[in-house]
């Protein structure tokens, strides 16, 4: 038994591509900064190796896209439009964080952005849980990673 409805394959692909787009936008700002500016920063002992971020984010964006698909395709509630807007809003904040952190090199402002992002993700999960638990659970690894990223952002800001 599949967790995804069997029809509307194109909506599924579209949903995943929308989510992956946030990563593509963010990568424009992070790829050039990682070997240069980011490499010069003092980082905490728990900083993961740089190669880990790409595969983790690709996986998370895919899971987010499946969650968005489930919202569009299965949620039958007045809250559906609000949940989609919340999803798209957190996706914008996700891309904005890379722009602020890597592009503008504003570590303190990035903490504010990731705090707003974290709040939106939690609100999205809470809103989804009674309507589609699979869609909500697909976002749990995302909030875990963003929580870790927030801690890392704070530590890098503090150390530099």
> Residues 63-77: pLDDT tens digits?
999 999 999 988 888
**What residue ranges define each of the domains in the chain, with the CATH number in brackets?**
9-40+50-159 (1.20.1260.100)
Residue 145's pLDDT band (boundaries 50, 70, 90)?
A: very high
Whether 2 has a pLDDT exceeding 60, the answer reads: no
Give the per-residue pLDDT at 1.
Answer: 43
Q: What is the 3-state secondary structure (H, E, C) of the chain?
A: CCCCCCCCHHHHHHHHHHHHHHHHHHHHHHHHHHHHHHHHCCCCCCCCCHHHHHHHHHHHHHHHHHHHHHHHHHCCCCCHHHHHHHHHHHHHHHHHHHHHHHHCCCHHHHHHHHHHHHHHHHHHHHHHCCCCHHHHHCCHHHHHHHHHHHHHHHHHHHHC
Give the per-residue pLDDT at 144.
Answer: 98
Between residues 148 and 10, which one has the greater pLDDT? 148
């Amino acid at each position: 038994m599949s967790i995804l409805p069997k029809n509307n394959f194109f909506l599924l692909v579209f949903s995943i591509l929308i989510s992956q787009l946030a990563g593509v936008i963010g990568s424009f700002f992070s790829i050039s900064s990682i070997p240069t500016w980011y490499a010069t920063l003092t980082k905490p002992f728990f900083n993961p190796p740089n190669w880990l971020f790409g595969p983790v984010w690709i996986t998370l964006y895919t899971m987010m896209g499946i969650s968005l698909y489930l919202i569009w395709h299965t949620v039958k509630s007045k809250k559906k439009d609000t949940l989609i807007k919340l999803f798209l809003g957190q996706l914008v904040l996700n891309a904005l964080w890379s722009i602020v952190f890597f592009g503008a090199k504003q570590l303190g402002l990035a903490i504010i952005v990731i705090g707003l992002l974290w709040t939106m993700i939690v609100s999205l999960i809470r809103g989804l849980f009674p309507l589609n638990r699979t869609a909500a659970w697909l976002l749990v690894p995302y909030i875990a990673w963003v929580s870790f990223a927030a801690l890392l952002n704070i530590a890098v800001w503090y150390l530099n």
